[in-house]
Amino acid sequence: MFDKNISEETRSNIAKRRGNNIKTLFGLPYKPDIDGEDFVVLGVPYDTSVTNRTGCRFGPRAIRNAYGAGRLSYEQDNSYKVANLKGMDMGDIGVVLGYVEETMELIRESVRKVLDAGAVPIVLGGDHLIAYAELKAYSEKYGKVAMVHFDTHEDTWDYGDRIKYNHGTPFRNAIEDDILDTEHSIQVGIRSGGDTYRIKYAQDHGMKVITARELHKIGIKETCRRIKEQVGDAKVFITFDIDFLDPVYAPGTGTPMPGGFSTYEACEIIRNGLAGLDIVGFDLVEVMENYDPAGITAINAVAILKQFVILLSKKKAEQE
C-alpha cells in the first residue's frame, strides 16, 4: 500500500475525468425527470435522413466524450463564470432507426416535455431533419417561432412527392406546415452552391439569408447587427449545423464545404449576435466522429455549446 491519503472529493473528480460515471455534457447530473432546471440536454442519435456520409447518430456520444465537455464553468478567456443556472442531461431519446415519422414524433414529445417543464432544450444531433420535429414542439408551445440557422446548406430542398423527410428538407417542411415565423428568421453562412432556388424559396417566404461570401465581406459586427434586426423581439430557435465551420475546424461532418468559418468567428457571432434575443431552444447537429479521428469537430462543438449556455446564464442574470 502506498502512503497516500486520497480524499473522497479527489476520488470523485478522478472518476469523472476517467469516465467511470455516465458521460453527460458538461458533467451535468443525469436524471430522467426535470425538476426546476433552467436547461435540459437531450441527445438524438439519429441519421436515417442523411444523403451523403453517415455516422452523425454517434454525434451525441462524441460531443459528450470530447475534451472540454466535462465541465461548464468559464469561457476560454475566463471572463465569465456560469454559476446561476441549473441544468441536467436526460441522455438520449430512444429513436427508431429507419422509421422517420416515428422518430420525429418521439423527438417532438421529448422537446415538448422539456418546454412544459419551463426549461430550455439543448438538443444534440443527429442529422438536421431533427430540427423539423423540434419546431413542431416549439410551435405547439408558443405558436410560430423565429429561427437563426447557421449552416452551409439552406435545408429547403424540394424533392417533390418523392422524399419529404431528409436532412435537406426540414425548413421547407416547416414553412409548408406554417410552423416557422419566416418574417423574423435568418440563415447565416450559406455556401452550398448549385441551384439558387433554395435561397430564393427562403427569401420569397420572408427569410433573410447571409451567404458565406457576404459574411466574409461584411464581417462579424455587421452580421450580428443584421441577425438582431431580423429577429427583433420574436421568440427564436437557434439551430447550428457544425458544417457552418470550415472543414479545417469540422472535418467530421456529412457534407463539408470549404470557405467556412473558424470556431472563434462562430463563437463571436453567437456571443454578440444572439445576446438579448428571446431564445426558446438550441440544437447542434451533424457531428460525425468516424470522419475525425482527432476529435477536433466534437471539441469545437463543445465550445459552441458553451456559448449557448452562457447566453442563457447572462439572460437570467439580467432578469434577476
CATH of the domain at 309: 3.40.800.10
For residues 169-181, average pLDDT: 91
The answer as to whether 13 is a domain residue is no
pLDDT digits (tens, 9 = 90+) for 213-249: 999 999 999 999 999 999 999 999 999 999 999 999 9
> Is 153 part of any known ligand binding site?
yes
Contact 150, 244 (CB under 8 A): yes
The answer as to whether 85 is a domain residue is yes
User: What is the residue range of 79's domain?
Assistant: 23-319
For residues 141-161, average pLDDT: 88
The identity of residue 95, as a single letter, is: V
The answer as to whether 18 is a domain residue is no
Instruction: Identify the residue with better confidence: 60 or 165.
Output: 60
For residues 267-292, average pLDDT: 97
Count other Cβ atoms within 10 Å, centred on residue 88.
Answer: 23
pLDDT digits (tens, 9 = 90+) for 183-207: 999 999 999 866 677 788 888 889 9
The answer as to whether 16 is a domain residue is no
Contact 263, 32 (CB under 8 A): no
For residues 171-188, average pLDDT: 95
Structurally, the chain folds into a number of domains equal to: 1
Between CA 72 and CA 302 the distance in angstroms is 10
- Which of 25-39, 58-72, 143-157, 212-226 reaches the highest mean pLDDT? 212-226
Between CA 134 and CA 87 the distance in angstroms is 19
Of the listed ranges 101-105, 155-159, 214-218, 278-282, the least confidently predicted one is: 155-159
For residues 294-298, average pLDDT: 97
pLDDT band at 20 (very low <50, low <70, confident <90, very high): very low
The answer as to whether 79 is a domain residue is yes
pLDDT digits (tens, 9 = 90+) for 101-147: 899 999 999 999 999 999 999 999 999 999 999 999 999 999 999 99
> Is 151 part of any known ligand binding site?
yes
What's residue 299's pLDDT? 96
pLDDT band at 21 (very low <50, low <70, confident <90, very high): low
> Is 246 part of any known ligand binding site?
no
For residues 33-39, average pLDDT: 93
pLDDT band at 1 (very low <50, low <70, confident <90, very high): very low
The answer as to whether 260 is a domain residue is yes
Between CA 197 and CA 175 the distance in angstroms is 15
What's residue 10's pLDDT? 66
What's residue 22's pLDDT? 74
The identity of residue 109, as a single letter, is: E
Between CA 317 and CA 54 the distance in angstroms is 40
Element holding 298 (H helix, E strand): helix 296-319
The answer as to whether 202 is a domain residue is yes
Concatenate the DSSP letters of all residues of 52-109 into one string: S---GGGHHHHHHHSTTTT--SB-TTS--B--S--EEEEEE----TT-HHHHHHHHHH
Of the listed ranges 56-60, 222-226, 316-320, the least confidently predicted one is: 316-320
Q: Which of 36, 181, 61 is nearest to 120 (CA)?
A: 36
> Is 92 part of any known ligand binding site?
no
The answer as to whether 17 is a domain residue is no
Q: How high does pLDDT run on average in the chain? A: 89
pLDDT at residue 79 is higher than 80: no
For residues 151-160, average pLDDT: 81
Contacts 24+ apart (CB under 8 A), 74-81: 75/306, 75/307, 75/310, 76/303, 80/310, 80/313, 80/314
